[in-house]
Structure 1
Amino acid sequence: MKIYITRHGQTQWNIEDRIQGSQNSNLTEQGKQDALNLGDKLRYIEIDYIYTSPLKRTYDTALLIKRNRDIPIEVYENLKEMNFGVWEGMHSYDVRREYKDEYYKFWNESHLYKPIGGETFEELIKRVKYTLNDIINKNKGENILLVTHAIFIKAIYAIINDYELKDFWNPPYIKNTCLSILEHNEDKYKFILEADK
Structure 2
Amino acid sequence: MTRIILVRHGETTWNIEGRYQGQEDTPLSERGLNQGHLLADGLRNIPIDLAISSPLQRSYQTCKFCADLHNLPVATDERLLEINHGSWEGVLAGDIQKQYPVEFAQWHREPEKVVMPGGGESLEDVRKRVRAAFDEYVTKYPDKTILVAAHDAVNKAIICDVLGLGMEHFWQIKQDNTCINVLECNEGVWRTVLLNATNHMGFLFSGIEQAGL
- Given the two structures, how large is their TM-score scaled by the length of structure 2? 0.88
Q: Displacement of 1:100 after TM fit?
A: 0.9
- Runs of at least 4 residues of structure 1 off by over 4 A? none
1:15-67 deviation digits (Å, cap 9, x = unpaired)? 11110000011111111111111111111111011000010111111112223
Whether the 8 Å contact between 2:67 and 2:73 is mirrored in structure 1 is: no
After TM superposition, list the pairs within 5 Å mapping 1:111-126 onto structure 2: 111-116=112-117, 117-126=119-128
Whether the 8 Å contact between 1:11 and 1:31 is mirrored in structure 2 is: yes
Q: Aligned partners of 1:179 and 1:165: how far apart in 2?
A: 21
Which residue is equivalent to 1:42? 43
Which residue is equivalent to 1:53? 54
Which residue is equivalent to 1:104? 105
Q: Displacement of 1:69 after TM fit?
A: 2.5
Which residue is equivalent to 2:85? 84
Q: Displacement of 1:124 after TM fit?
A: 1.3
Which residue is equivalent to 1:20? 21
Which residue is equivalent to 2:75? 74
Whether the 8 Å contact between 1:48 and 1:72 is mirrored in structure 2 is: no
Q: Does 1:129 align with 2:131?
A: yes
SS at match of 1:44: coil
- Give structure 2 stretches of 5+ with no counterpart: 198-203, 205-213
SS at match of 1:181: strand
Q: Displacement of 1:81 after TM fit?
A: 0.3
Which residue is equivalent to 2:151? 149
1:82-113 deviation digits (Å, cap 9, x = unpaired)? 00000000011100110111111112112321
- Give structure 1 stretches of 5+ with no counterpart: none
Q: Aligned partners of 2:67 and 2:121: how far apart in 1?
A: 31
Q: Aligned partners of 2:167 and 2:182: how far apart in 1?
A: 22
Q: Aligned partners of 1:192 and 1:68: how far apart in 2?
A: 23
SS at match of 2:171: coil
Q: Aligned partners of 1:162 and 1:100: how far apart in 2?
A: 30
Q: Displacement of 1:166 after TM fit?
A: 2.0
SS at match of 1:168: helix
- Given the two structures, how large is their TM-score scaled by the length of structure 1? 0.95
Aligned residues: 196
Whether the 8 Å contact between 2:48 and 2:70 is mirrored in structure 1 is: no
The amino acid of 2:14's aligned partner reads W
Which residue is equivalent to 1:164? 166
**Coordinate RMSD, CA, aligned:** 1.2
**Farther off after superposition, 143-152 or 185-194:** 185-194
Residues 1:68 and 1:167: Cα distance change in structure 2 (over 3 Å): closer
